């Protein structure tokens, strides 16, 4: 397949690496100093847990040119920036566009792309479970992942047709990377915030060092997520991936999640790569996601979230977060 990965931070770069490993013709869109490094030295990734480094040499462009065509485009941008590229995504000649990452306005984005498209096009939404950071000084990315990685993927409120699923499964064949097909990505993306926003609140409350967190705070994270899932259920939002809310409830899965919080908090390298680095780099995105999720919660006054609000109140205000991290640029 001829594939464009629009965005070259940690998530987009690892996605490009996997697609190249499967033998696809991959082009990466990057800009600025990072584009220059990719052109000069290639795409170098340090896979933290796997204790190895890889070097790929994808084609690198700075903009989409008129007449460029691809079999698929994966757009990997922070939520606060994805809106700015909807027009070029509509203009690119590709039958399939996948918006990868947090997104609290997927329906409007799908409508904008399809409303201005220059060819017949299908829009899907995905979320890749990887994390890490970009080290521009060393010209490499540090990637944190379990196994070969995976992506939850689907349409706004539907599973893609069999032909589309077969096409994408083939694009990742032989890599070990899993595509988990979801029937309602709008619900999935809302549910995802129930899990990750409390982690962000604690990261900000601890000023980016989760080793300073207490056991009570880590328990508060799990209780906050439990309340958020209950609030979504009260509004009729399907919980996706199915059963994820059980990791925040009493029982074996809840105890496992509490243990994972402990491990994440006590290992600074892991907490930085999984949570704190992103919170520092993408505070504008986190602010927007927080505001959008609180609007959802306001629609369910009968589902109170006292633990959620208690944890959220422990972080500094967004103006203070901006003051602390405003010098940092996104590495997504």
Bond into 26 cis (ω within 30): no
pTM of the model: 0.93
Measured distance CA(166)–CA(171) in Å, rounded = 9
* 59-105 pLDDT tens trace: 999 998 877 899 999 999 999 999 999 999 999 999 999 999 999 99
Grade residue 16 by pLDDT with cuts at 50, 70 and 90. very high
At the topology level, CATH places domain 2-183 in Rossmann fold (3.40.50)
**45 Cβ contact partners less than 8 Å away, ≥ 6 residues apart:** 13, 14, 17, 53, 54, 56, 140, 141, 142, 143
Q: Are 248 and 222 in contact (CB under 8 A)?
A: yes
Quick one: pLDDT at residue 332? 47
* 119-160 pLDDT tens trace: 999 999 999 988 888 887 788 898 988 899 999 999 999 999
**313 Cβ contact partners less than 8 Å away, ≥ 6 residues apart:** none
What would the two tokens of residue 149 be?
């990685």
What would the two tokens of residue 146 be?
């379990």
Q: Which of 32-36, 176-180, 187-191, 258-262 has the lowest mean pLDDT?
A: 32-36
Q: Are 182 and 229 in contact (CB under 8 A)?
A: no
Measured distance CA(236)–CA(190) in Å, rounded = 12
Q: Which of 41-45, 229-233, 271-275, 301-305 has the lowest mean pLDDT?
A: 271-275
Quick one: pLDDT at residue 205? 96
Burial of 63 (0-12, 13-18, 19+ CB in 10 A): exposed
* 270-299 pLDDT tens trace: 888 788 888 888 899 999 999 999 999 999
Q: What string of H, E and C letters represents the secondary structure of 191-211?
A: HHHHHHHHHHHHHHHCCCCHH
The residues spanned by each domain of the chain are 2-183, 189-325
Q: Which of 116-120, 266-270, 320-324 has the lowest mean pLDDT?
A: 266-270
Quick one: pLDDT at residue 327? 59
In the predicted structure, residue 330 carries a pLDDT above the cut 60:
no
Quick one: pLDDT at residue 275? 86
Measured distance CA(176)–CA(205) in Å, rounded = 37
Most distant CA atoms of the chain, gap in Å = 57
Average pLDDT score over residue span 287-312: 96
Average pLDDT score over residue span 12-34: 95
* Sign (positive or negative) of CA dihedral 70, 72, 75, 76: negative
Measured distance CA(268)–CA(266) in Å, rounded = 6
Measured distance CA(3)–CA(22) in Å, rounded = 12
Quick one: pLDDT at residue 331? 45
Measured distance CA(264)–CA(31) in Å, rounded = 32
Measured distance CA(177)–CA(148) in Å, rounded = 5
Please, what is the average pLDDT of the chain?
93
Start-to-end Cα distance in the chain: 24
pLDDT above 90 as % of the chain: 83
Average pLDDT score over residue span 177-186: 97
């Amino acid at each position: 397949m001829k594939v464009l990965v629009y965005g070259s931070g940690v998530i987009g770069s690892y996605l490009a690496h996997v697609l190249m490993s499967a033998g696809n013709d991959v082009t990466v869109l990057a800009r600025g100093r990072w584009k220059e490094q990719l052109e000069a030295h290639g795409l170098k990734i340090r896979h933290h847990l796997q204790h190895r480094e890889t070097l790929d040499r994808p084609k690198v462009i700075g903009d989409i040119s008129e007449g460029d065509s691809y079999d698929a485009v994966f757009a990997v941008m922070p939520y606060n920036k994805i809106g700015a590229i909807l027009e070029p995504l509509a203009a690119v000649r590709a039958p399939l566009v996948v918006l990868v990452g947090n997104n609290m306005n997927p329906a409007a984005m799908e409508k904008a792309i399809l409303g201005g498209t220059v060819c017949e096009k299908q829009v899907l939404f995905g979320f890749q479970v990887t994390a890490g950071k970009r080290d521009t000084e060393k010209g490499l990315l540090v990637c944190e992942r379990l196994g070969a990685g995976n992506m939850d993927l689907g349409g706004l409120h539907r599973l893609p047709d069999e032909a589309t699923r077969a096409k994408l499964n083939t694009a990742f064949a032989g890599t070990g990377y899993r595509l988990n097909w979801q029937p309602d990505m709008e619900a999935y993306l809302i549910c995802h915030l129930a899990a990750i926003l409390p982690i962000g609140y604690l990261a900000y409350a601890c000023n980016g060092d989760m080793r300073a967190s207490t056991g009570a705070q880590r328990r508060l994270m799990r209780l906050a997520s439990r309340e958020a899932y209950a609030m979504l259920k009260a509004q009729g939002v399907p919980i996706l991936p199915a059963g994820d809310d059980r990791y925040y409830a009493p029982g074996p899965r809840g105890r496992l999640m509490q243990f994972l919080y402990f491990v994440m908090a006590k290992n600074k390298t892991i907490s930085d790569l999984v949570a704190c680095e992103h919170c520092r780099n993408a505070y504008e995105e986190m602010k927007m996601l927080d505001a959008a999720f609180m609007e959802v919660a306001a629609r369910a006054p009968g589902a109170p979230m006292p633990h959620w609000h208690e944890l959220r109140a422990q972080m500094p205000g967004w103006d203070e977060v901006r003051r602390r991290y405003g010098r940092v640029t996104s590495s997504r």
